[in-house]
């Protein structure tokens, strides 16, 4: 006699039990843009926007000044429909939509209507707005690190900013005082920088600032700190360096900047700098006092004709 359901039970009992292999599903990397710099001037974006994160979740993202874009940049230097980012098949590309001022990836202007694959990470410039593009698995951790770096780094030049400069001096001055070591500081200012902005535009001015940072950084030794103080002013901290040696360093930098060819959009831009030197000398001064000494000498250099060193 066959008991109903008996065959099914025996069949189930005979079924071999196997361990299921986990199914691995490929996932696309998370991506975001971090706004790290907005040029000064007649711009619409406020400074509080610096550090804003734009998560890239759509397959196609439009960037421009118009309100119908996915990322709206209310800047005079941004076209109404400026650029587009496309995400497909694990690749992210950036396309310039024939904007007036161009679209840049890592300082390279990309041709219009020609998709360019984004490196990871990369810097992206839209008008005078600069973004850091990041992609990875743990973007929250990356974002936290980027925000910290943003606090101590100048977004335009990549140099330490004024905040980081003051932190460095707050450590170097007590060290120089405690161990009776020399310490000097060089303040540098680009001559007639306003003229560059007024005649060639702010994009040209930003280019000069970045190129100057690159030129000087190549000659900064280990242990020295070259920072952007603000605007067109820069500061070089020279630990264990006396005044006479600091004057020689400043003069060499002046000559190298003057000999350098600055070029933007097929226009050669003559650039010179004025420099003021201050030294610690064991005096009872703090970081602001040392900066004031160098700043007074910088003012004398500019008043006496520019393109020179005073200390």
Catalytic residues: 232
Give the closest residue to 276 by CA, choosing from 236, 241, 240: 236
Q: Which letter does DSSP use for residue 308 in this model?
A: S
Give the closest residue to 227 by CA, choosing from 198, 187, 195: 187
Pairwise CA distance, residues 219 & 230, whole Å: 21
Residue 235 DSSP SS3: strand
> Which residues touch 44 (CB under 8 Å, ≥6 apart)?
74, 75, 76
Q: State the residue for tokens 């306003």.
A: 194
Beta bridge partners of 185: 237, 278
End-to-end CA distance of the chain: 113
Cis peptide before 297 (omega within 30 of 0): no
Element spanning 198, H or E: helix 193-200
């Amino acid at each position: 006699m066959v008991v109903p359901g008996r065959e099914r039970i025996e069949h189930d009992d005979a079924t071999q039990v196997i361990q299921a292999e986990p199914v691995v599903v490929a996932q696309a990397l998370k991506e975001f843009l971090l706004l790290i710099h907005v040029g000064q001037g007649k711009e619409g974006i406020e400074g509080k926007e610096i550090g804003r994160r734009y998560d890239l979740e759509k397959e196609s993202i439009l960037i421009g000044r118009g309100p119908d874009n996915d990322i709206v940049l209310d800047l005079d230097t941004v076209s109404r429909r400026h650029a587009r980012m496309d995400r497909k098949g694990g690749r992210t590309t950036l396309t310039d939509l024939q904007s007036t001022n161009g679209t840049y990836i890592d300082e390279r202007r990309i041709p219009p209507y020609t998709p360019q694959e984004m490196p990871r990470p990369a810097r992206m410039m839209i008008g005078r707005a600069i973004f850091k593009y990041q992609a990875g698995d743990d973007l929250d951790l990356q974002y936290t690190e980027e925000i910290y770096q943003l606090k101590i780094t100048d977004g335009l030049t990549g140099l330490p900013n004024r905040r980081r400069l003051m932190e460095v001096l707050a450590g170097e001055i007590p060290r120089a005082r405690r161990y009776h070591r020399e310490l000097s500081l060089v303040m540098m200012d680009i001559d007639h920088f306003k003229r560059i902005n007024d005649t060639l535009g702010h994009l040209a001015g930003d280019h000069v600032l970045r190129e100057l940072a690159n030129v000087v950084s190549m000659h900064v030794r280990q242990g020295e700190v070259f920072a952007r103080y603000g605007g067109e002013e820069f500061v070089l901290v020279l630990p264990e360096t006396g005044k006479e040696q600091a004057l020689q360093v400043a003069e060499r930098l002046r000559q190298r900047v003057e000999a350098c060819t600055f070029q933007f959009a097929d226009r050669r831009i003559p650039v010179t700098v004025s420099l003021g030197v201050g030294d610690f000398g064991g005096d009872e001064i703090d970081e602001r006092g040392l900066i004031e000494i160098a700043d007074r000498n910088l003012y004398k250099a500019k008043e006496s004709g520019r393109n020179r060193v005073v200390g």
